[in-house]
Amino acid sequence: MTQQTTEGRSSPLGATLSPGGANFSVYSKHATAVELLLFDGVDDARPARVIRIDPSTNRTYHYWHVFVPGVRTGQIYGYRVDGPYDPPSGMRFDPAKVLLDPYGRGTVVPKNYSHEAARKEGDNCATAMKSVVADPGAYDWEGDTPLYRPSSRTIIYEMHVRGFTRHPSSAVAEKKRGTFAALIEKIAYLRELGVTAVELMPVFQFDPQDAPPGLVNYWGYAPVAFFARIMRTALARTRSARWTNSATWLRRCTGRVSK
């Protein structure tokens, strides 16, 4: 039996877990209706549950929010939002489209993801990226803290997460190449070069199909979720384990833990 939702709260934005479920909050000044969609699978053509967010009880200023009991880490979700369609004013509301949570901490991409389907008329549930409920607080940072190294002593190495170790010359095991796990193995090499900081691109979810015909968006210059790490560069079977792999890379870079 589905438990009754409650009004929730406007802050924080995104999906926030608690012992009894999750609070969802999204900002939209001009929306006239918002639906929260819960999915059982990333490739599902229809949501398992549709929750209409009541503007009379679940809206604070321009924040639409709802608390959903029973939601756990890994829940796939998205939004449908209705409102004015006025392109000259920059508004293109389309209640048929599935939208990512702009403050979501995780994303999933269906095997038949289609950038073009999002541009055309009609429902795009089966081909749309979707958000995933994550629990960043579950990761054990083992007391890790920022290094506080001054800029005058910082040497930055900018690298592509996947491209840095894809070639066999990286000397990384083939199954690890192009992942955060592979980068961990190269920390010693970077230190030998005198590198003190690494700038990774891309690390957040982007649209790989946002590129000219026949090409792939390699550097991630079309971000779709600034708070969700790109999961294809994490070597793991589950979404939670992939999040852990990327966080472990960040922790290892500080050198405050054993390798």
pLDDT, averaged in runs of 10, over the chain (259 residues): 87 96 98 98 96 97 98 97 95 96 95 93 96 88 86 94 92 90 91 93 89 90 88 52 55 48
Radius of gyration of the chain (CA): 20
Judge if 42 and 87 occupy the same domain: yes
> Residues 83, 30: contact at Cβ < 8 Å?
yes
- Flag whether 193 is in a domain: yes
- Flag whether 125 is in a domain: yes
Strand 21-27 to 14-18 pairing = antiparallel
Judge if 86 and 199 occupy the same domain: no
Judge if 182 and 100 occupy the same domain: no
Judge if 130 and 158 occupy the same domain: no
Among residues 137, 159, 190, the one where a domain terminates is 137
End-to-end, the C-alpha distance of the chain in Å comes to: 47
> Residues 113, 98: contact at Cβ < 8 Å?
no
The CATH number of the domain where 101 resides is what? Answer: 2.60.40.10
- Please tell me the predicted confidence (pLDDT) of residue 237: 46
Judge if 123 and 217 occupy the same domain: no
- Give the global pTM: 0.85
- Flag whether 130 is in a domain: yes
Burial of 102 (0-12, 13-18, 19+ CB in 10 A): middle
Looking at residue 99, what DSSP letter applies?
B
Distance CA(243)–CA(9), nearest Å, equals 26
- Flag whether 5 is in a domain: no
Judge if 65 and 29 occupy the same domain: yes
Judge if 115 and 223 occupy the same domain: no
Judge if 247 and 180 occupy the same domain: yes
Place of tokens 């004015």: 84
Using the CB atoms, write b or e for 9-36: b if 16+ within 10 Å.
bbeebbbbbeeebbbbbbebeebebbbb
Judge if 125 and 169 occupy the same domain: no
> Residues 240, 74: contact at Cβ < 8 Å?
yes
- Flag whether 72 is in a domain: yes
- Flag whether 36 is in a domain: yes
Among residues 137, 156, 176, the one where a domain terminates is 137
Distance CA(195)–CA(182), nearest Å, equals 17
Among residues 137, 158, 188, the one where a domain terminates is 137
> Residues 14, 104: contact at Cβ < 8 Å?
yes
- Please tell me the predicted confidence (pLDDT) of residue 116: 93
| Other residues' Cβ atoms within 10 Å of the Cβ of residue 122 | 8
Distance CA(126)–CA(133), nearest Å, equals 19
Helix (H) or strand (E) run with residue 33 in it: strand 33-39
| Other residues' Cβ atoms within 10 Å of the Cβ of residue 86 | 11
Judge if 146 and 244 occupy the same domain: yes
- Flag whether 3 is in a domain: no
Q: What are the φ/ψ torsions at residue 256 (nearest 5 degrees)?
A: -90, 0
> Residues 61, 10: contact at Cβ < 8 Å?
yes
- Please tell me the predicted confidence (pLDDT) of residue 257: 37
- Flag whether 258 is in a domain: no
Measured in whole angstroms, the distance separating CA 177 from the mean position of its chain's CA atoms is 22
Which residue range forms the structural domain that includes residue 48?
Answer: 14-137
Judge if 118 and 177 occupy the same domain: no
How many domains, the chain?
2
Judge if 73 and 109 occupy the same domain: yes
Distance CA(101)–CA(1), nearest Å, equals 26
